[in-house]
Structure 1
Amino acid sequence: MFQLYKKRGFSEFVGDTFDFLKIEGKSYFKNYFIINGIVLLLLVATLYFFTSIFFEGMFSNANRNNSDGMALFLNSNLGIFIGLGIFLFLIVMLASLINYTYPIAYLKLVAEKKTITTESIIAIMKEKAGRTIIFFLASLVVMIPLIFILMGIMFLLTIIIIGIPLLLIVGPALMSWMILCYYDYITTENGYFQSLGNGFNLLKMKFWPIIGSTVIMYIIVQMIVGIFSFVPYIITIAGFMASIDTESQSAEPYSAIMIAMNILMIVYTISSFTLQNLIFVNQGVIYYSVKDEEESHSIKSDIDLIGQNEE
């Protein structure tokens, strides 16, 4: 089983994230799709119906050269859009809560060297459901406004040269701080503000290695998501532009682009949610590594093993 409690630096933060996936990847993603798969399917199905209705109205009115047609279409289908919008919001929130809590539950079992099954992961997630909701509600009042203020200041500072490097440092730092706080809050019984402080202290202990690792993992995730979405999107748009016959108002190109955009939306959504696991696993490796430097779990484990061998 993968060793979470271990002293690490920058290269180990990144390298051990992929070592974890080599060792635990099959079990990790199998259980992930068992637990979150149905919710993701509901999410992409809702997105599909939502975008299909929208594109159908947009392209049908474009064919008729009716400038007021889109407004009339939206007004006549306002109830459908509101209903789908509310349902979509709820599904996105549920998928996100599962997405953020699942890696923490899985790594908690790894850290405690317990047998990992779908049932044991779900048991932890159910046990921590109340704390999960409290964390996100409290963060809406405390952390999210603070992050928006700090990021707003960083964007304003980009007017002068110093703002650009500060943005590249503060952005990953805030993201890592929030995830480390969440790890601490879910894996312990600490209060919300205590976890905020603990997360900040963990970040300070190895600030530059953590920032570097977070940036590298974020870039890797965005590159992979880009391969799944941006490149096919460009190919689709190019094919659509080439297929348009300026002499006719055929709906075939519009039907093709609707299908292609829906497929790309589904691929992007599933790949984005799935690949977020890389960032959370990386932050988990960081969390347990820095905790080990605080509490010396790996040394205690080695001493226990020596005692067992002597027996």
Structure 2
Amino acid sequence: MQFYKKRDFGSFISDTFAFFKLYGKNYFKNFILLNGLLLILTVVVMVVGFREFFGAIFGSNMSGQSYYFEQYFQDNLGLIIIAGIVLFVLSTALMTVNLLFPVFYMKRAAEGQKEIKTDDIISDFKVNSKKVFIAYFGLTFLVMPVATAIFGFSYLLVFFFIGIFLLLFILPNLFSIITFLCYDYFNGNKGFFESLSYAIRSQFSYPNGREKSPYWKYWGATIILGLLFYIVSGFLSGVPMVLYILKLSTTAPDGNFEQNPFSGNFGIVIFFIYGLSTLVSTILMNVLYVNSGLMYYDSRTDLHQKMELAEIETIGNNE
């Protein structure tokens, strides 16, 4: 598969699925082996934490205790703070690993490596450990907060209708900028802010500035695959709520279920499904990450001819 080449809108989508057809089994095996423990820990903390949290919400005031919810927070403030810190560290670490895994994997694949092992990816993380830490702090404390603020402002404008159209453009653009930043930062010798600058500029023009803007094909490919991801993940995450409504409508009101609907076996099932949907959604995000990788390789027109010659030479050596 040729990575460094010009692609059109349709090629981004077809080549994304072609990538998984060619590398999918090896890709996801390495992804699960590398991220498995971190994923499980994050899901466990989320499931346990949210179960207690929602249990407290639904249980508040059900027994005539007007300050039940406030009392719950006062009694468990230390535990809530610790759980919040642990969840923050785990989720941001998982975010960084999820963003960088496809970067290292596709970089090796673009160099002609066929069988990529987990040790190879771990080695890439170790060799680039300084950059990984910079990326972690840069993404966590700079890029993501700014992106969240922009998204929040656009979301508020939904009430004025213009926000709906803004979100259709802002969300794909923010996602592409963040992923381009990661690809560019680890595919060259640029600094973090230099790669961030390139990630923003490359959404609107090629490096030479003489070719047609790639904006619409980048936006189109991202939003199409993003909508597919949203539909699948939305369906999975909606299952627990449907089960809760069905349980609520078919259970005789006795105060016990209403006070804490997530206790007992039902709560275990609900949060197991929720945890499973979170895992599946995280894995499915890789389709978007790989698509962004192909868009990044499309943007590097300065390397197209060089990499084409290198790939031809690699094929010749393999034969």
Task: Give CA-to-partner distance per residue, 1:252-303, whole Å, 9 cap, x none.
Answer: 9823553343123302321222122111111011111222465424542366
- How many residue pairs end up in the alignment? 307
Counterpart for residue 117 of structure 1: 117
Aligned residue for 1:283? 292
- 2-side partners of 1:280 and 1:95: how far apart? 14
Trace 1:113-152 onto structure 2 (pairs within 5 A). Answer: 113-114=112-113, 115-139=115-139, 143-144=143-144, 146-147=146-147, 150-151=150-151
Q: CA deviation at 1:42?
A: 0.9
**Residue aligning to 2:33:** 34
- For the aligned residue pairs, the C-alpha RMSD in angstroms reads 2.9
For residues 160-179 of structure 1, what are the structure 2 equivalents within 5 Å? 164-179=164-179
Work out whether 1:208 is the aligned partner of 2:207. no
Name the CA distance, whole Å, in 2 between partners of 1:60 and 1:214: 42
Quick one: distance in 2 between partners of 1:146 and 1:59?
Answer: 34
State which of 304, 307, 310 in structure 1 corresponds to 2:313.
304
Residues of 2 paired with 1:148 and 1:46: CA distance? 23
**Structure 2 unmatched runs, 5+:** 207-213
- Structure 1, residues 52-104: CA drift from partner, whole Å, max 9, x if none? 33344445555523222222222112222222221111111221111111110
Which piece of structure 1 moves more, 105-114 or 188-197?
A: 188-197
Moved more, 22-31 or 109-118: 109-118
Residue from 243, 247, 252 that aligns with 1:240: 247
The AA in structure 1 aligned to 2:287 is L
Q: Which of residues 266, 270, 277 in structure 2 aligns to 1:261?
A: 270
1:5 partner SS: coil
Amino acid of the residue matched to residue 85 of structure 2? I
What is the percent sequence identity of the aligned residues? 29
Asked if 1 retains the 8 angstrom alpha-carbon contact of 2:4 and 2:308, the reply is no
TM score, norm. by length of structure 2: 0.84
Consecutive unaligned residues of structure 1, counting only runs of 5 or more, are: none
**TM-score between the two structures when normalised by the length of structure 1:** 0.86
Give the aligned residue type for 1:117. Answer: K
Indicate the larger mover: 149-158 or 71-80.
149-158
Query: Contact 1:40–1:95 (CA<8 Å) still a contact in 2?
Result: yes
SS at match of 1:245: coil
- Could you say which residue in structure 2 is the equivalent of 1:65? 64
Deviates more, 1:13-22 or 1:3-12: 3-12
